[in-house]
Chain A
Amino acid sequence: MRPFLLEENALFRGLYCWLGANEGNRGFCTPEGEALARDGLLPLGWEWLAYGAAGLALVLLLVNAFLVLVMLYTYMERRVMARFQARLGPNRVGRFGLLQPVADAIKLLTKEDVAPTGADRWVFNLAPIVMFVPVLLVLAVLPFGRGSFLADLNVGVLYVVAVTTVTTLAVFMAGFASGNRYAMFGAMRAVAQLISYEIPVVLSIVGVLLLARSLSLVEIVEAQRVPFVVVQPLAFFIFLAGSSAELNRTPFDLLEAESEIVAGYHIEYSGMKFGMLFLAEFAAVLTTSGVMATLFLKGWEGPLLPSHLWFLIKVFGLAFLFIWIRATLPRLRIDQVMGFAWKFLLPLSLVNVFVTAAEALAWDWETMTPQQVWAMGGINLLVGMVGVVLFSHLVRRPAPRRAARARAAATAEEGV
């Protein structure tokens, strides 16, 4: 296990030394830290507090920077969405409407916070928090740039998968505790849909892991000689579709299907609790894009530009893809959604794992020649296309139409 970034971070060290430098840990302090204060503010024996405070400050910084990004993203989503729909989008508050998220936040904060009488108060109030926290937790292992990460867990991918699954619980809590039937529909759909899509998503990551031979996100980035999307196109597609479903965005936004169950699980929420649920969804888009960029697009690596910028470019590029899909597609029905997961994505991801495993046995990813890499990409693309064609026959259901025609003919006979 690598050391935490925390202890290498200059900011952390500086803060730590400023607060708690003393004879014992002088060696740990950076020269800047020493220059800042020869002795820390805290007395001897309180280094732990300095450590905690410095760590907390760093985390706060990161989280807030991320939240600002999320706000920017909400603006981007609304603006780009509007352009897709040939309208202008928010353009009033600030220049080009850039302050719109701030205005929204102020509006939500000043709204009355209503909880329905029939609601389970504790669960109802807890749900937005449970929704939001996992999204932030993912940040802990995400490498944002060259050497910038909070922690390099050797089970990073597993951690991401485990943490994001908690969202399911939050959605169910929100829907169940509201005591509203629409919300209940949303909650039921959430459980069915989110759990089903977890499986193909995880299996699609397995292909990446087989090539990278590591579960650490940092090592996965470093293992990508070419972006994994080239050699794992099918996995990328499955991950994209699956995570769309987990983020409940169209075509899989059944949880909050506005035209059907009004707003699904957050129908009863108001004020900032609603804001939290909403923000959590938008934040999840960003973190998922981050995970996707890390797994498939070589993370922060890229020529010329600084690594952090590359990461941001990739994340926002993927977010744009999500917006584009959302702007175009109608929604599937619940049985079609489930069918799509179990009959289409799951077999496809199994095929992908199988093929990739065979390839990983035949070739060694690290010592492959570029030609072999491209051949592998070609094979996988072909397998993917054949798989899509084959398995799409499973999800298409011609039967009802035929039955319907028979029924129509029958009524026509007796009716006319």
Chain B
Amino acid sequence: MPLRTEPVTVNIGPQHPSTHGVFRMRVTFDGEVVLDVEPVFGYLHRGSEKLAEERTYTQVITLTDRLDYVASMTSNQAYVLACEQLGDIQTPERGRYLRVIAAELQRVASHLMATGFLLNDLGAFATPLMYCFREREKVLDLFEMLCGARITMTYLRVGGVFQDAPEEFWPALKRFVAEMPHYIDEYEQLLSENEILLARTRGVGVLGTGEALNCSVTGPVLRSTGFAWDLRKVDPYEVYDRLEFEVPVGEHGDNYDRYKVRILEMRQSVRILEQCLAQVPSGPVRAEVPQLYRPPPGEAYGRVESPKGELGFYLVSDGGIAPYRCKVRSPSFINLTVLRDLLVGWKLADMIVTFGSIDVNMGEVDR
């Protein structure tokens, strides 16, 4: 008698060690092989977009902190850029440099976390994660100097940053910039040549450029497919047009390339920080913007290259003190649209790794 097998349906999440928050996937397995994936969102939905309509423009900044809570600085940045477009506000130079410094530090921190958790998903017993957190800790210390908080910064303001960096920030940043490349080397020594990591990630979860573009995937996930699309280059905001850096791209669009692109981007971020250190001018950090900011009626779309991809805020103003409408284009959410295509046909273990390598943040997915 032939053995009869049947597919099983398993709920991965919302409570699962490697769903990076409260993501839920209803997965149908044939043995270990994924037959179908149905992502279920919304466990972390807080209605941020609606809440933003009830808040003044400055108060909304606290909401953007909580979208991508491992990269609050870039969330703040996208939002204040949109606000500045609304009211046509010119940010002082020093303020812009401080924003770029904050954003690049944030990129390093976010990529460190992505790398660490990817390795955790791969089953390395928290060691790379702890190493990554050790360096992330240094970034957070820098943030604490800047704005007194480590996760939910609320550092940026419409028209600049809320306060100039303290004196001790600059030597600390210098030290960080000098040290960080060694630590990145250490990660690479630990990980990049590791046969198990190569076996697990190379050729797994391959995303083609066309597929990625069709699904409007952005960020490292898109760049890993070999498509050099980085808003800092193609639509320079702040002072990125004055800074020299490369856009690292992958080749195959597989998990390994996504990992590698993040590592290379960290190196580029350090490079940007180095240049910022040399270039940052003196002067005010904040334009004259009243505490109750009332932009003229109109609409604006501000976008930045967040660590996860293109993060955009679409704001509509009716001339009041609060946005009439605030729409967030969150890269985590949109990058997840390719999830099903990436997972079907691979094994359970690959599924976890691929999901980890996309690097989503549930706060941003569910908003």
Contact = CB atoms under 8 A, between A and B. Distances in A.
Given A259-B17, A401-B203, A408 B225 contact: yes
B214 interface: yes
Contact of B134 (A86, A330, A336): A86
B51 interface: no
B254 interface: yes
Given A251-B123, A330-B194, A336-B199, A185 B17 contact: no
B31 to A, nearest CB: 8
Contacts of A403: 203
A257 B199 CA distance: 17
A412 B130 contact: no
A260 interface: yes
Contacts of A411: 208-211
Given A401-B202, A408-B208, A415-B208, A87 B254 contact: no
A409 interface: yes
Contacts of A396: 199
Interface in B1-31: 8, 10, 16-18, 31
A415 B226 CA distance: 14
A260 to B, nearest CB: 5
B55 interface: no
A316 interface: no
A332 B208 contact: no
Contact of A400 (B126, B204, B213, B214): B204
B178 interface: no
Contacts of A257: 123, 349
A400 B205 CA distance: 10
B110 interface: no
Contact of A87 (B130, B204, B209): B130
A13 to B, nearest CB: 47
How many chain B residues sit at the interface, stated as a range, is 35 or more
Given A260-B352, A333-B200, A335-B347, A327 B209 contact: no
B206 interface: yes
A305 interface: no
A258 interface: yes
A98 to B, nearest CB: 23
B115 interface: no
Contacts of A329: 124, 194, 196
Contacts of B122: 259, 330-331
Given A259-B123, A411-B211, A413-B210, A332 B131 contact: no
A74 B121 CA distance: 24
Contacts of A404: 203, 206, 252, 254
Interface in A359-416: 395-397, 400-401, 403-405, 407-416
Contacts, number: 127
B208 A407 contact: yes
Interface in B324-350: 347-350
A185 B32 contact: yes
B197 interface: yes
Interface residues of A, number: 49
Given A401-B202, A404-B254, A259 B208 contact: no
Given A86-B130, A411-B208, A413-B210, A405 B32 contact: no
Contacts of B10: 181-182
A319 to B, nearest CB: 15
Given A330-B123, A404-B203, A408-B253, A258 B17 contact: yes
Contacts of B126: 85
B209 A412 contact: yes
A85 B196 contact: no
A178 to B, nearest CB: 14
A331 B211 contact: no
Contacts of A85: 126-127, 130-131
B78 to A, nearest CB: 27
Given A259-B18, A261-B348, A416-B209, A330 B252 contact: no
A262 interface: yes
B45 to A, nearest CB: 25
Interface string B181-205: 0000000001000101101101110
A326 interface: yes
Given A259-B18, A412-B208, A333 B350 contact: yes
A9 B134 CA distance: 54
Given A258-B17, A259-B123, A409 B208 contact: yes
Interface in B132-159: 134
Contacts of B125: 81, 250, 326-327
Most buried by A among B120, B122, B202, B254: B122
A119 B293 CA distance: 61
A66 interface: no
Contact of A330 (B31, B196, B213): B196
Nearest to B19: A259
Given A257-B123, A330-B200, 5 more contacts: A330-B124, A333-B199, A333-B349, A403-B203, A407-B206
30 contacts: A86-B134, A87-B130, A188-B31, A250-B123, A250-B125, A259-B121, A259-B352, A260-B349, A261-B348, A327-B125, A328-B127, A330-B124, A332-B199, A333-B350, A334-B32, A335-B347, A336-B199, A397-B199, A400-B203, A401-B203, A401-B252, A401-B254, A407-B208, A408-B207, A408-B208, A409-B208, A411-B208, A412-B209, A412-B210, A415-B213
What are the 9 closest A-B residue pairs judged by CB atoms, nearest first? A415-B210, A331-B123, A411-B208, A401-B203, A408-B208, A404-B206, A330-B122, A85-B130, A400-B203
